[in-house]
Chain A
């Protein structure tokens, strides 16, 4: 009996090993939400981020010349824009004073650099070189001069994970700036889509899409992209709106973290209202 069993084990050992290891992998997969496991992953990711930042800085040595040239040009253009904006700012303050509005657009901004864009296990995620020590927290929006990049999802002492718009599990409430119609932007089939919008909703090709007032994660009116295409479903009742992002996710290197956690602010506000 034992001999027969042994012979069978011997002849099928490859398959037995395979099935055993695949089963272990699947069991481990089901424990992914375990807090202990999350801690181990966060620790490991912190270490990898350090290695990534070293390689990133080596790579920067080679790309720095072009970068400086571009930045010099950008600097000159921005200087001209700043002059204009300064004038607008003064005018704006005067007008706001006239109608008694409070300026709500002054968010604290932390400039950061992306140290890794390719985390094979998490497509659409970036690692930035700022973490808890710099005051970066979960749910803080990340932007650049063109618009919204994503939201911080995980932090260690010196680094943070950013879930970009191009992450398959990213969902952001957005608004058509012209018509004011809201929708949920997600990333599917390699494109940014506002899915299942009734055809009667007013979205036009070329419209600017910005973050919505109803978003509990990101502040309103941050530019996201332009309406590129409308795909009407077979029934003709619903439309998928394809959005072309303002941010060039391939090239982006420097960005900024908006140091606000909108939901926290809203919660505090709601709590204060309840206390009154």
Chain B
């Protein structure tokens, strides 16, 4: 889905990462270890199915899953998943994931950090968090309070 649908909602080369939303959701629901392993598995399949550099998404998504797992709280699972905190966690983890991913796939030794940080990390992460915000707002009420 990430590889097939996302190209059509790309704006100026900036695309949302739907997998990060799913990964943050898993981490907040099941915990840090589960999130870390899920990140690794999701990253592996992402690398395989996009024909890119194998290992890059595995690394960045493992890290993102681990980071999202920090916000896991057994007593606040529903709150974390249904509040705007979820959007903020997606933003943070998305930026982290994009930044490490870009560093790993970049073949250019001279990395321009402002470009890397802003255009390739913050902007895609912001776009991803907007998508997650839409999900939070329009989520069916019954599911939201389950």
Contacts and interface: CB of A to CB of B under 8 A. Distances in A.
Contacts, number: 134
A226 B48 CA distance: 38
Contacts of A24: 40, 58
B70 to A, nearest CB: 9
A48 B36 contact: no
A237 to B, nearest CB: 19
Q: How large is the interface on B (under 10, 10 to 19, 20 to 34, 35 or more residues)?
A: 35 or more
Given A17-B33, A18-B36, A22-B63, A51 B54 contact: no
Contact of A25 (B15, B50, B51, B59): B59
Contact of B4 (A29, A55, A122, A169): A55
Q: Taking chain A's interface residues, is the majority helix, strand, or loop, or is none over half, making it mixed? A: helix
Interface stretch (A36-44, A89-97, A202-210, A257-265): A36-44
Interface stretch (A69-77, A111-119, A129-137, A142-150): A111-119
Q: Taking chain B's interface residues, is the majority helix, strand, or loop, or is none over half, making it mixed? A: helix
A40 B48 contact: yes
A77 B42 CA distance: 49
Interface in A148-203: 154, 161, 168-169, 188-190
B53 A120 contact: no
A122 B51 contact: yes
Nearest to A188: B108
B37 A45 contact: no
Contacts of B51: 41-42, 44-45, 48, 119, 121-122, 154, 161
B107 A168 contact: yes
A240 to B, nearest CB: 12
Contacts of B119: 190
Contacts of A41: 48, 51-52, 54
A13 interface: yes
A32 interface: yes
A215 interface: no
B40 A21 contact: yes
B23 to A, nearest CB: 13
A189 B59 CA distance: 24
Interface residues of A, number: 44
A47 interface: yes
Contact of A121 (B4, B37, B39, B56): B56
Interface string B94-136: 0000000100111110101001000100000000000000000
Interface stretch (B5-13, B75-83, B85-93, B137-145): B5-13
Interface string B1-35: 01111111010110101000000000000001100
Contacts of B39: 21
A116 B10 CA distance: 12
Contacts of B68: none
Contact of B50 (A26, A48, A189): A48
Interface of A: 13-14, 17-18, 21-22, 24-32, 37, 40-42, 44-45, 47-48, 51-52, 54-55, 59, 116-123, 154, 161, 168-169, 188-190, 250
6 contacts: A14-B36, A18-B62, A55-B4, A121-B46, A123-B105, A188-B112
Given A32-B54, A120-B6, A121-B51, 6 more contacts: A14-B66, A17-B37, A25-B58, A52-B3, A119-B3, A120-B17
The 7 closest A-B pairs by CB, nearest first: A121-B52, A45-B51, A29-B55, A28-B55, A25-B59, A25-B58, A118-B7
